[in-house]
Structure 1
């Protein structure tokens, strides 16, 4: 636990993100994920405030999540793994492969740029009118750009280019992590019908089986919260947590470490620590019911100033989607039931084996 305490108590010492060449192919030191210094502080602060204002503060977050849940059909998808094994960057074929490898990144970035231009054109034509506070992240960013311009801010970092990078980062981080965790959720629930049964009893008792699960139900659904916690502990989706670069000499666990060293905290090791999580290989949501302090040792979103800024959104998504899937459907494997184990131990993202699942509507 020493490294957890260090990273949370020494934000300046551990606050600089170390980035490899691949992370800066498009970003060039900008954005929210790979930037540092004043740029990072300014854009992270803006993103946190904006996500809060357009999320929990206005109840928009739940509305958007449930809109997606109710609208989207369940389909077989293959998510591009945005985290490439580090060994690739040492390859002699790197330059030749780079264009092909990063095509998905450029495709997403291109879509973001087109979306921004579409909004700018709509504003110019009068089809979209920005309210005083704006209606979304893009509006809020454009308002900030205009404010900096009126205030005479020299070399403002809020430009259309940096808006595209920030949106790109938010999309990459949010899409990959949440979808992978939900994939693990289905694996865990397929293997534990007794958990599904207990969950559904709790949810039907709270909702009467006549309405969806809501974030307002959280105080009355401790088993759902415990199940989501156990899914995140079991998944621990990062094989490698993001690296940071020491800003000065320090001592870690009695070992002197020089400034400039690249370090990380491997959260998955904590989540599988037998001294903390007894029988850690067993999927057991009740562990969080029996020990109220155990949740404090669960850190799927990191710690310190570099922790995931989308934590509130991700928690809401996992709670609502997991809860409503269990309330609305029975889970059935198509073919062999997938094992609760990773099929990708070498890349940065840890994934379960490929599997097919059938969702059968429940008649409450």
Structure 2
């Protein structure tokens, strides 16, 4: 009987050529994908999708926030797209964004965990955690930030001191008024504020190790939306075994994690639970407090990722906004002159900018708001995920659907802004005073609104005002300064140089 079965198997193998097996496997995968990912009833409309790849080839990864706008015109303010096995909807327009993130905030609360995110963060930290863990980490972080100066004069004084150091570093850049790249000087200055809270120290602009970390962070931001990374999220099991750009990206995240881990280890050597010096010390105390409680989310892994989140978010967003601000000032000298006239009138040349002065400087404040609107650094917001199946604009959104809010369209909506595609501070002014605009959401809205909003607003005002108090920013001679951007986790300016001419 065994020889007969062997002969039968050999005959079957001769018939089933490897190409036939491959074709069969592909057909099986396509059918499995079809049945697994059939669209539910009353799901938002959207462009046709390919099996396995979804709408992968229909999005321009060099400018995804712009390429998505053509589908808004075709399908309306709520439409669906699929990225690999990830079903998502794009929400456009202020009423619908408010409905999704505020009124339906309890149903659209989680962060989607893509394969890349899962590989890097698991479920840890402030940005990517969900449920009770997210609530605990966010509550603790907000309390701790306040304990270490958020909203107080002491932190404002640190910003003023750092603004002074930044001005000095720019002044020492070659000869006064010579072109220089402001990227990492501004990164260093902004990062020093969050570092003083999290690590208990600031880093000199000549610190080679810290400069290396800032460049590492910049590489991570740039690589995050590469085609390789998107392929990893689509085919994680295959891409795990393949060499390529995605492996370099994952390796850089590990390097950043290692840097944070070393700082934490250094803290442990002279840690005194009775006298916490910074966020890390306070977190170590919280770990001790919850020792033995298996339900607690306070552990060393979460400490690493929460610290990493603060370092990343507290460095990148504000510094990128400031870089856009200086470019716009160099390209709009008439607006820069008005800002400087207000600075001279309210605080003069010798007094440091302060938060008390902000209320007296509506034009400067309006310019900063307009930089945020036009800079558009997080154009599709940080995604959310439906944690409880819900209905939005009459359409059914199943649990697990990723929700993308279209801030690009909101911040360039011709019904909301008089000159949507032109830099115009008057958008935020009414009768000479700062005007609040509901359609202005650079920090998002709802339960997961940016927890660093207050810190970022203070940093933007003090750094921007201090820079324009001391310098006039101009394009380099014989070099064209453009508004071209680089897409990463944020939309940042391409590498450029500026001239910082000291003011008399």
Who is 1:36 aligned against?
Answer: 130
Match among 444, 451, 456 for residue 314 of structure 1: 456
- Cα deviation for residue 57 of structure 1 reads 4.2
- SS of equivalent to 1:41: helix
- Cα deviation for residue 107 of structure 1 reads 1.9
1:80 aligned onto 2:211 = no
Distance 1:348 1:25, change over 3 A: same
Q: Distance in 1 between matches of 2:421 and 2:337?
A: 21
1:359 aligned onto 2:500 = yes
1:120 aligned onto 2:268 = yes
Who is 1:157 aligned against?
Answer: 297
Residues 236-273 of structure 1, C-alpha deviations (whole Å, 9 max, x = no match): 11243222121333332233333322111111210000
Q: Distance in 1 between matches of 2:127 and 2:464?
A: 27
Deviation larger for 247-256 or 135-144: 247-256
Distance 1:153 1:93, change over 3 A: closer
- SS of equivalent to 2:108: coil
The question of whether the paired residues in 2 share the 8 Å contact of 1:202 and 1:221 is answered with yes
The question of whether the paired residues in 2 share the 8 Å contact of 1:247 and 1:259 is answered with yes
Distance 1:49 1:199, change over 3 A: same
Q: Distance in 2 between matches of 1:52 and 1:338?
A: 40
- Cα deviation for residue 12 of structure 1 reads 1.3
Q: Distance in 1 between matches of 2:491 and 2:277?
A: 35
Residues 193-233 of structure 1, C-alpha deviations (whole Å, 9 max, x = no match): 11111111111111122111111211111111111100000
- SS of equivalent to 1:356: coil
Who is 2:340 aligned against?
Answer: 200
- SS of equivalent to 1:338: coil
Who is 2:324 aligned against?
Answer: 184
The question of whether the paired residues in 1 share the 8 Å contact of 2:286 and 2:298 is answered with yes
- Cα deviation for residue 44 of structure 1 reads 0.8
- Cα deviation for residue 62 of structure 1 reads 1.6
1:265 aligned onto 2:412 = no
Distance 1:294 1:269, change over 3 A: farther
- SS of equivalent to 1:245: strand
The question of whether the paired residues in 2 share the 8 Å contact of 1:112 and 1:168 is answered with yes
1:105 aligned onto 2:253 = yes
Distance 1:249 1:119, change over 3 A: closer
Q: Distance in 1 between matches of 2:389 and 2:302?
A: 33
Q: Distance in 2 between matches of 1:32 and 1:145?
A: 16
Ranges in structure 1 where 5+ consecutive residues have no aligned partner? 124-128
Ranges in structure 2 where 5+ consecutive residues have no aligned partner? 1-93, 171-179, 185-214, 233-237
- SS of equivalent to 1:274: coil
The question of whether the paired residues in 1 share the 8 Å contact of 2:320 and 2:492 is answered with yes
Q: Distance in 2 between matches of 1:59 and 1:102?
A: 39
Who is 1:339 aligned against?
Answer: 482
- SS of equivalent to 1:241: coil
Who is 2:437 aligned against?
Answer: 295
- Cα deviation for residue 156 of structure 1 reads 2.6
- Cα deviation for residue 348 of structure 1 reads 4.0
Who is 1:8 aligned against?
Answer: 102
- Cα deviation for residue 93 of structure 1 reads 5.1
Q: Distance in 2 between matches of 1:60 and 1:105?
A: 32
- Cα deviation for residue 148 of structure 1 reads 2.4
- Give the root-mean-square deviation of aligned CA atoms: 2.2
- SS of equivalent to 2:326: helix
The question of whether the paired residues in 1 share the 8 Å contact of 2:429 and 2:435 is answered with no
Task: Give the structure with higher Rg (CA).
Answer: 2
Q: Distance in 2 between matches of 1:23 and 1:181?
A: 25
Distance 1:214 1:49, change over 3 A: same
Q: Distance in 2 between matches of 1:205 and 1:90?
A: 54
Who is 1:170 aligned against?
Answer: 310
Size of the alignment, in residue pairs?
A: 353
Who is 2:286 aligned against?
Answer: 144
The question of whether the paired residues in 2 share the 8 Å contact of 1:13 and 1:248 is answered with yes
Who is 1:49 aligned against?
Answer: 143
Q: Distance in 1 between matches of 2:297 and 2:459?
A: 31
